[in-house]
Structure 1
Amino acid sequence: MSVTPTPAPRTPPRSPESGPDWEDLATTALLGTDRRPFTGADGAHGPGALLDEAALRTVRRRAGLLPAAAAPLPAAVAAEARPPLPEAARRRLGQLLGARGDQRGSAPDLTELLPQWLERANAHGYAPPPEHLPALLDAARGRTDLRPAVLAFAGVRGRWLAEQNREWSFVRRTIVAPPAHEAATSAPEDDERLWGEGLFAERVALLARVRESEPERARALLGPTWAKERAEDRLLFLDCLRPGLSEADEPFLEAALDDRSRNVRALAAELLSSLTGSALAARMAERARACVGPDGAEATAAEAGAIAVEAPRACDAAMEHDGVVAKPPAGRGERAWWFGQVVEAAPLAVWPEHFGGASPAQLVARPVAEGWREELHAAWCRAAVRQGDAEWSRALLGSPVGAEQGATALAERARLLAALPAGERAAWVAGFLAANGLSEAFQLLSGCATPWPAELGRAVVDALNIARDAGSYPWSFSGVMGLAERCLDPAEAPHLEKLIGSFEENEDSKPAAGLYWTDVFHRLLATLRLRAEMRAELDGASPTDTP
């Protein structure tokens, strides 16, 4: 008698809901099957069973995915009103965008030439080639220093494109003035709507633009929303009032002295002290006169004696209201800290009057009693920069070739130079380089207008040549070399070319210094020539020259 074997029961098919859900699988994978054992539907254990289950769930999820409704198409971008780039400049832009940084040897660093190219293209009002917009936005995403120039060049089409890609969301946070042709079409009602609904960067750009042409309307925009703004936003909005500051701004700034934010109060006090006819400036002048005067009761104001200083002995509530910070930073004495803030905020015109008509140069030359000279001159330096006073800046700077500098600190000299006209500033730095070489040149050169005038450019090249002849290595002056590549006028190329082959090593030269300097000079020369080509490509068919 034969016995028919009973078939094994079939495992019913698993429903989509059976077994662990996806979150359970993910938690088990994170913890590991040693800490959270896993058993599959077929009785298998361990990591392999977990991976099999995850693969099954992945396929099931993909197979059951239903198509979503298509998103609406973005609104069409406005037509570009600017003229296109010349063909040679278009090709050059592609070359600059495709370059890789950190180049070595004598080849120019193309990534450092892109900011100059953008500046000149924006000055001519060219429109960007559409095919280069993604690369331009990618470049700006990686380099914050490029963003304003890139967005000004990209225009409405670039901003429209950035809205389609979240990786370019920095555009929403970048403050940049709109192109001139866009600003001209702006109506007051459009500005008010943008002020009420726009992104922060758009609002700052709007306020800066309106401030330039209609200062009163800029303040009117600020008024209704001022109390509701965040402290950090109020600070930046208030800073937009700095250009074109006038007596009409005084009531608004006086009210800001009572702002709940310490930083806003400090900025309001700084702006008011820049208005030398303001009530705050007058209060500071009165305090400053009480602190500084002729040394000795028998001396008259007109005598060229020493200057006496009596620093404040307390910082009262009125001083704090006017922007004097009571608590000094670490390492500073209280009285010196208060004294510097008071003198810095006082109008510089008070001092010739207080000392019987003495000129700024005469006052700077006077001795200061009891070791207060450094504090007094530093405060005068800050006041000269704040008030943009060229006469006081000249007096405090002194001669660029003199052994004794009126403002001894390098940072103070750099700030004072900013108050001088561009040509005078360049001439002073050129004289400083001729007398002192490159050791302290970087910060001074950074503040000079570009391209450098011929006198300054020649002084930089000559100072580099002297440093090379001294036998030192060029990377000791890498900062100045970088500035020279960006700021030196390409017209200096012939002079530089003559110097390349004139070097002879001496006994004091560092090993192989001559070879390194040769590479550096070749790179500088190649960069100048390339900049000249870029300029010709952009200038050759300038839209501003077309009828």
Structure 2
Amino acid sequence: MDATVTAADGWEPILAAALLGAERAPTAPPGPLADLITEPDPGAALLARLAAGGLNHLAGLDLAPDAMAPLAPREPAGRDCPPAAAMRLYGLLGGGHAARERLGEWFDLAAAARMRPPAWLHQALMLQGRSLPEAARAVVGPELAWLAGACGEAPEDESDEAPDDWTAGSLAERRAAFAAFRARDPDGARAALEPVFRKEKAEMREALVGALATGLSPADEPFLEACLDDRAGGVREAAQRLLPHLPGSLYASRMAMRAATALVIETKTRLLRSATHDLVVTLPEDSPTLARDGVTPNQWEQRGGGIRAGLLRDILARTPLRAFASHPPRLWLELALRGEWSEPILTGLFETIARERDPDWTRAAIDLLAEACEGKVAGVRRTNELIGRWVRAVDLLPDAEWEAAVTELIRARKIEVVLAMLGSGPEAFSEGFSAALVDWLAFVTRGSDDLRRDLAKPWVIGRLGERLWPSDDVAASAAALAARLPEQEGDRLRPQVTALSETLDLRVAMRREFETPTEETARG
């Protein structure tokens, strides 16, 4: 033991007392430990000194040489938020599930204002570090990491980081690490995987193939084609899910050839008459090559024409839209809509349209379905399924175009269709669209009881409070609408509109709490 340490902590006098006897022990050196010894009996005093010295020794036993070195100063992450915003955060941290859902919005507002929670909230934030929303990392993450280091703890997010070595660890850890590798270097990750791929277990092979979705490119095609012959079904299915996203691949070409065999447009031209078009459909047969590409019969297939119609649907869902370049998108869609096999053909085509997001096909589908729902397409009657397809087609538009399309429906008083459209669309509406939508809600509430019941369906108003623009004007309009609705027993509409108004009021208040008063206001 280091003599300087033992002399400093009083251990040598205690040792001497133990050897010479308590009566002949030297007096205790001055210091905080000596002041604690009050026993008059020499033996009891020796034991007390021994206990105090032992505790003093153990207290510093695990300290590293630099344990008492000061930490690097913490750089401020921005201005403290106003007290009202801080109190709001404190309430959200201690609230229930609904309050915790609002945390993400609070941190988004803090990031936009370049503000941070005050220091007195850091302990509460640290205690709930793992359950904080992702938006909190940018606002308070560095400060919580600094505080954790000051307390000798590992930062909460260290364990969430994907390990660098994708060849070791659990299945989830390796998949995450490989996905991160793909994000950094797509070709390098695939090249590293190929030599060792066959040595992995089936479950791991499936997970690693699925991770190729990150950074997927035509360069991955040869590897994915080889995976179609893997002995594990999960690996084959993982490759079959990715290959349709490569429209220039051999896989896509095989599907295009099958689609060309199954669907043919025959054009007949007559003298002094316009040409007529017919869609000739040849349902495909099951085959091993078709099964290799992931199209297999469903023995329980009943809806839309049976097993072979299901094969046609799945082929079209994997066929690139370039395979139909011989005719305009509108012609393909209209002939399919009018034909006997409309359900499997349109379902398959719509899946491909949604994947490729081709603007010409998207616009053709929207226009055709709008006309069909208005009774302007011969031989096609309006159904709920048809309206549902129209809703899904409009949902493929960018947010601004979706709002423009629904605004036109509002102006045209297409109430039933607007009700259906509100089940999809952007997560957040613009201010102008929000104002128009609240006015429309007021118009519908003045309508018939049937319209009010339709408006009270869960998907219509349920999430509008989260999606409407949180401005004072929009919130005031919603509050006025809620106040005007009569209270009726069993009426679900008034509670829903009231909840919408309360949510908007809360969101407006949160934004107001981040506003800092001007100098003149502060002086006043």
Q: What is residue 97 of structure 1 aligned with on the other side?
A: 93
What whole-Å deviation, never above 9, does each CA across 1:376-409 have from its counterpart, x for those lacking one? 1111100111223232122223378652589945
1:309 to 266, 278, 281: 281
**Alignment check: 8 A CA contact 1:113 1:486 kept:** no
Q: What is residue 359 of structure 1 aligned with on the other side?
A: 328
What whole-Å deviation, never above 9, does each CA across 1:2-32 have from its counterpart, x for those lacking one? xxxxxxxxxxxxxxxxxxxxxxxxxxxxxxx
Q: What is residue 377 of structure 2 aligned with on the other side?
A: none
Bigger RCO of structures 1 and 2 (CA < 8 A, at least 6 apart): 1
**Alignment check: 8 A CA contact 2:455 2:493 kept:** no
2:415 to 412, 416, 436: 436
Task: Please give the alpha-carbon distance, in whole angstroms, between the structure 2 residues aligned to 1:151 and 1:239.
Answer: 28
Task: Please give the alpha-carbon distance, in whole angstroms, between the structure 1 residues aligned to 2:492 and 2:384.
Answer: 35
What whole-Å deviation, never above 9, does each CA across 1:126-149 have from its counterpart, x for those lacking one? 87778757755776877xxx6655
Task: Please give the alpha-carbon distance, in whole angstroms, between the structure 1 residues aligned to 2:180 and 2:334.
Answer: 43
Correspondences of 1:457-468 after superposition (within 5 Å): 457-468=434-445
**Alignment check: 8 A CA contact 2:461 2:497 kept:** no
Pair 1:280–1:501, CA change in 2 (3 A): closer
What is the RMSD of the two structures over their aligned residues, measured on CA atoms?
4.7
Task: Please give the alpha-carbon distance, in whole angstroms, between the structure 2 residues aligned to 1:518 and 1:273.
Answer: 44
Pair 1:244–1:363, CA change in 2 (3 A): same
**Alignment check: 8 A CA contact 1:195 1:206 kept:** yes
Pair 1:329–1:395, CA change in 2 (3 A): farther
Correspondences of 1:402-481 after superposition (within 5 Å): 402=371, 403-404=373-374, 408=385, 412-413=389-390, 416-417=393-394, 419-432=396-409, 435-437=414-416, 439-445=419-425, 448-450=426-428, 452-470=429-447, 472=452, 476-481=456-461
Q: What is residue 215 of structure 1 aligned with on the other side?
A: 186
1:238 to 200, 209, 226: 209
Tell me, what secondary structure is at the counterpart of 1:349? helix
**Alignment check: 8 A CA contact 1:96 1:110 kept:** yes
Tell me, what secondary structure is at the counterpart of 2:280? strand
Pair 1:426–1:515, CA change in 2 (3 A): closer
Alpha-carbon shift at residue 435 of structure 1 (Å):
2.0
Q: What is residue 111 of structure 1 aligned with on the other side?
A: 100
Pair 1:95–1:429, CA change in 2 (3 A): same
Number of paired residues?
431
Tell me, what secondary structure is at the counterpart of 1:111? helix
1:398 aligns with 2:378: no
Instruction: Name the TM-score, length of structure 1 as normaliser.
Output: 0.63
Tell me, what secondary structure is at the counterpart of 2:320? coil
Alpha-carbon shift at residue 214 of structure 1 (Å):
2.9
Pair 1:409–1:297, CA change in 2 (3 A): closer
What amino acid maps onto 1:114 in structure 2?
L
**Alignment check: 8 A CA contact 2:92 2:103 kept:** yes
2:298 to 324, 327, 335: 327
> Which structure 2 residue ranges, 5 or more long, are not aligned?
1-57, 375-381, 519-524
1:343 to 316, 323, 327: 316
What amino acid maps onto 2:437 in structure 1?
V
What whole-Å deviation, never above 9, does each CA across 1:48-78 have from its counterpart, x for those lacking one? xxxxxxxxxxxxxxxxxxxxx9997999999
Pair 1:372–1:122, CA change in 2 (3 A): farther
What amino acid maps onto 1:457 in structure 2?
S
1:278 to 227, 233, 249: 249
**Alignment check: 8 A CA contact 2:103 2:133 kept:** no
Tell me, what secondary structure is at the counterpart of 1:489? coil
**Alignment check: 8 A CA contact 2:263 2:279 kept:** yes
What amino acid maps onto 1:486 in structure 2?
E
Task: Please give the alpha-carbon distance, in whole angstroms, between the structure 1 residues aligned to 2:395 and 2:224.
Answer: 25
**Alignment check: 8 A CA contact 1:295 1:369 kept:** no
Q: What is residue 533 of structure 1 aligned with on the other side?
A: 512
2:470 to 490, 508, 518: 490
Instruction: Name the TM-score, length of structure 2 as normaliser.
Output: 0.66
Alpha-carbon shift at residue 84 of structure 1 (Å):
5.0
**Alignment check: 8 A CA contact 1:473 1:510 kept:** no
Task: Please give the alpha-carbon distance, in whole angstroms, between the structure 1 residues aligned to 2:485 and 2:513.
Answer: 35
**Alignment check: 8 A CA contact 2:77 2:143 kept:** no
Alpha-carbon shift at residue 285 of structure 1 (Å):
0.5
What whole-Å deviation, never above 9, does each CA across 1:308-332 have from its counterpart, x for those lacking one? 2111122x11111112133355535
